[in-house]
Every structure is written in C-alpha cells, then in structure tokens.
Chain A
Amino acid sequence: MTSELQPADLGGRIVRLAEKGRPQVRFRLDGADCQALAGDTVLTAVLVCAPAVRQSEFGREKRAGFCLMGACQDCWLWQEDGGRLRACSTLVAEGMQLRTVPPETWP
C-alpha cells in the first residue's frame, strides 16, 4: 500500500479528521504493507486500511472494535509471532506484523 491511496479504495472504515501531518509508521497486516501515523493506536492503524480486525469466533460477522476503552475486549488481534494484543490500547509501532486471523501454526 502506498500513502496516496485513500482509505475507501482499500476498504478502510476510519476517516482522518485532524492531525494528519504526523510522521509515518510502516507495518504489515496479513502480509500486506500498510502505513499508519505515529501516535495511531493499532485499531486506528488497521481500520484506516481494512474494515475489521478479526473474525468473530461465534458468528459469521467480522469485528472492528466496539468501546475503544479496553472494556469490551472486541479488538484483540494476532501478531505473526503468535502473540495477541488489544488494538485500542496499544500504539502502532514500526515493523509490527499483524494478522486478522490466527497464524498457521495455531492449533
């Protein structure tokens, strides 16, 4: 992904309204290169380029976070190394490798 692409073209759902001039941060989502801005939470970073952070384990729908304050636990997503993180309370960092589905090694 390159910076001139707009969220809508990529299927993101978040619209940036303010403070768009922050330094860029690169990360990977499901193997694809993505860009965020320094200070974005992982949830913001992912939802700028994708419509959801994970698949619900209990229904057909995907999930994209809900409360943004660490209460609902809806926005946990996977990292390539097998760990998980809560996207709304974690800041995105250069080189993060994120997945909306469990790693292949997950049983």
Chain B
Amino acid sequence: MTAPGGEKVMIVGAGPAGIRAAERLVQAGIRPIVIDEGIKAGGQIYRRPPHGFARPPEQLYGSEARKAVALHTVFDYMVAAGQIDYHPQSSVLTIAGDFLQALTPAGRRDFTYDRLILATGAMDRLAPIPGWQAPGVYSLGAAQIALKAQGVALGSRIVLAGSGPLLTLVATQLLKAGAKIAAILDTSSIRNQAAGLPGMLARPGLVLRGLLMRAKLGRLYHAGVTLDRIETDERGPVGLCWRDASGRAHVTACDMVGLGWHLRAETQLAGLAGCTFDYDESWSQWLPRTDRMGRAAEGLYLAGDGLRILGADGAEVAGRLAATACLVDMGLPSPDARSDLRRLGRYEGFARAVARAFPWPGEMVRAVPDETVVCRCEGVTAGELRESVVYGGGEANRVKSLARVGMGRCQGRYCQLAGADLIAENAGIKVCDAGRLREQAPARPLPIGLWVRDA
C-alpha cells in the first residue's frame, strides 16, 4: 500500500532491526510490507515460543526481557491496527530489480516495491571439526532456540564448544533450566579475551553481566582449548576430544555437542539484490557495503546483524536509521538521526572488540585432517577441497564448481568461511583473496511442483 511519498516500502525480516524500521515508517504514515520467516515476529534472540507455551518473558529473555516485550508489543500493535502488511512464515527466494518472489504458507507470491529494507539477521558462524556431521551435533544458536522456543535440551549430557558471547550465554541459560552440561570449551585464550576487554568497556554493563555469568560457570569453562574431534557412534556423539591451553589431551563424554564461533551475517538476499561486499578483518567475513545510515544502493537499505554484527541493541538502532534514510530519500520529513548515529558508533566499537576477544579459529580450521567433512550438506571433505585447489586454483567459486563445497542445500552458509581458509592455505594467498561465493536463487529450497503449477 502506498502512503505520503506514494512509494511502496518492503521490509524483509521481523527481528529487532525489521521491527524498528517498520515502526519508524508507520510513524511517518507509511504502511510497509513486512515479510518474515518466523511463526511470530521477534527474530532469533527475541524469538517467541509457539502458541500454548506460558513461561514469562523474564524466564525466556533474562535481563533483556523488557526489550523483548517492547519489540513484541510494538509489532503486534502495528499488525492489529492494520498499520503494516505482514506476511509471517514466508521466505524470500529471489530478488530481481523491483520485485521479489516469496514462498508463503499459501504458495508462491510475487511482491513489487519501490524501496527495500533488508533486515535478515545473522546465524551461527561454524568451523568444521572431525565428526561435526553426526546427528546430535548442533549450533549454539540451535541449543538456545530449543530451550527458549520449545523448553527442551538437545541432549542429556552436553558439551558446548566454540567462542563468542553466545557460548557463555547459552551455557548459563541451559544450566539454569536444569540441563546437564559436561564442559564449556572456548577456543579463545584468556590473553585474546583480555586484549578485547578495553574496547568492550564501551558498554561496561554488558561486560559485567558477561563476567558474572562466566564466573558462575566455574570449572566447567575452559579457555584457550583446541578441539581435535567428536567421537561418534551411529547414534551421534559419545565424546569430544580436546586439548587444554597447556596442550594436555582430554576426552569429555557427551551425547550432544553445541558448536559456534560468534555470528555470521546472513547476506544471501543482500547479494541477490546487488550489494557490493568488502572483507572485514575484525569479523573475518564478507559484509555488505553501505553508508552509515544503511544505504547500499538506490532504494536498497540494510540494517541489523545482516549488515554489521552489533547484536540486538545495535539492530534496533540500525533499523531506525535505515527507515530514516528511506524517508529522507523519499523527500519526507524524518527525525534527527544524530543521536542514533552516535549510539551506533559506540555499539560498533564494542562489537569489534568482542570480535577481537573471541576470534575465528583460522589456525584450527587450516589444520583439520583431510578426512574432516567441511560441507555438511554433501559430505565434502577437507582433502577433496584441498585437491581441487591444486588443480583448479584458489578461488571460492571455482572450488565450488569442482569440489561442490557451497553447492549443497545450505548454499555455503556453514562451509564458506572455513572453505576460504582452506583455499587460502593451499593456494598460498590471503583469505580475502580467495573470493566469496556468488549468491544463487532460490535462497531457500522450494517444492518444484508448486512452482511449476503456479508459473
């Protein structure tokens, strides 16, 4: 539907960034189209359980309950008041020019728009370790979603491993809920974490909360570890083999492993929409290029963790800014953005320090044995990838064609970063020179029969 500027605005994603973007547009008298994959709006960190669950927000979101409730409330109000055209449980499949195709519960649907705000969020950033393809190995985010949205633990004896704020947070939440955790293994050393600390003090409250959580984990937590492999039988994990900071080998018995190294921006749609990307050294990943407000191109705006990994608070600010940029570009009155821009700057300083404190384990990835599965979708091993670099050259898309790393149904979301490390190592080049995978539509699998019938 059109309003003041006579233009149609579409928002993809209803997490903190998408919700705040929608709110700002509604305040300006615009009725945006909002499309989101969730059953309910909220995104991942403020994900709501399905109908029929009754735990209060304080139990689900802890110290962030007030923020979560505020977002849910404002969104539900906009839906009830008919202020937004909301399409839940719908996945965008492709973007071309001024239209996008989506898979909705009612089938295929095409949307046209004049301006597009992408608020697609982030996912766990994964590094391969031998055995991670086994059933019962999950991402850290999965462990959190299972607890928050379903009230379950994904195993009866859990090892959490990786690095980043989520490692401590998920461990804390699972322990509080009564799950049994055998070990919490952080690949970041105390020294790395200390190096990030000064920058993280831009948000002292968060640091304090994190340190208190960490202290409560006690002897379950180990810093500076190296993960060697997950021992499995046909049911899944039976133990995780690791070395502590002094190099001593350990095996921790478990039936579930949660893995994650901080976050990776979800950029598939940004790529399909034509964004330019730059390799970001502090986050060790490719991120879309925009101005400070989130403008990526004419009529294209980005906000939230899909642009910069600033977390939920930063996503709210970025969502407001992207919508403000949109209003400015439509020639409509817009609120002063200066205080939000200052806030965003502070959040970014903090976030870069977090990235420094909990770095991507590049060295560990480059050292994985040849038999390690790199691509979980199709079982492509590190050895097959290394071999393809030898005869095909050190470029991500060529390695994808030759070895199928990135060709599977997750479309490289979980193997691309590790793949780039292995390519760089074998070709003797820098990770940023290994290139990035070109996005291919559809961004999600779709039932081909439905497409044929509807075409």
Contacts and interface: CB of A to CB of B under 8 A. Distances in A.
Interface in A3-48: 8, 11, 13-20, 22-23, 38-41, 44, 47-48
Given A59-B133, A71-B410, A86-B445, 12 more contacts: A13-B156, A15-B152, A17-B152, A18-B177, A19-B55, A47-B154, A51-B135, A52-B135, A59-B373, A67-B124, A69-B123, A70-B37
Q: Binding site of B, secondary structure by majority: helix, strand, loop or mixed?
A: loop
Given A59-B133, A89-B37, A70 B91 contact: yes
Contacts of A66: 137-139, 142, 376, 414
Contacts of A91: 39, 50
A69 B154 contact: no
A67 B67 CA distance: 24
Contact of A14 (B154, B373, B409, B445): B154
B197 interface: no
B142 A41 contact: no
A58 B376 CA distance: 9
A13 B255 contact: yes
A74 B415 CA distance: 14
A40 B150 contact: yes
Interface of A: 8, 11, 13-20, 22-23, 38-41, 44, 47-48, 51-52, 56-59, 61-74, 76, 83-84, 86, 89, 91
A39 B55 CA distance: 13
A71 B413 contact: yes
B39 A58 contact: no
Contacts of B153: 14-15, 17
Interface residues on B, range: 35 or more
A97 to B, nearest CB: 18
A20 to B, nearest CB: 8
Given A18-B151, A39-B50, A44 B376 contact: no
Nearest to A19: B151
Interface of B: 37, 39, 44, 49-55, 89, 91, 123-124, 133-139, 141-142, 145-147, 149-156, 177-179, 232, 234-236, 255-256, 266, 373, 376-379, 409-410, 413-414, 444-445, 447
Nearest to A22: B52
Contacts of A86: 445
A52 B232 CA distance: 14
A44 B52 CA distance: 15
Contacts of B136: 13, 51, 64
Q: Which 10 A-B pairs have CB atoms at the shortest separation, nearest pair first?
A: A64-B135, A18-B151, A58-B379, A68-B142, A39-B52, A73-B409, A59-B379, A19-B151, A68-B145, A52-B135
B19 to A, nearest CB: 17
Given A15-B179, A17-B177, A72 B413 contact: yes
Nearest to B151: A18
B141 A69 contact: yes
Contacts of A38: 52
A20 B379 CA distance: 37
B135 A62 contact: yes
Contact of A67 (B123, B177, B373, B378): B123
Contacts of A39: 49-53, 150
A65 B53 CA distance: 22
B238 to A, nearest CB: 13
A69 B373 contact: no
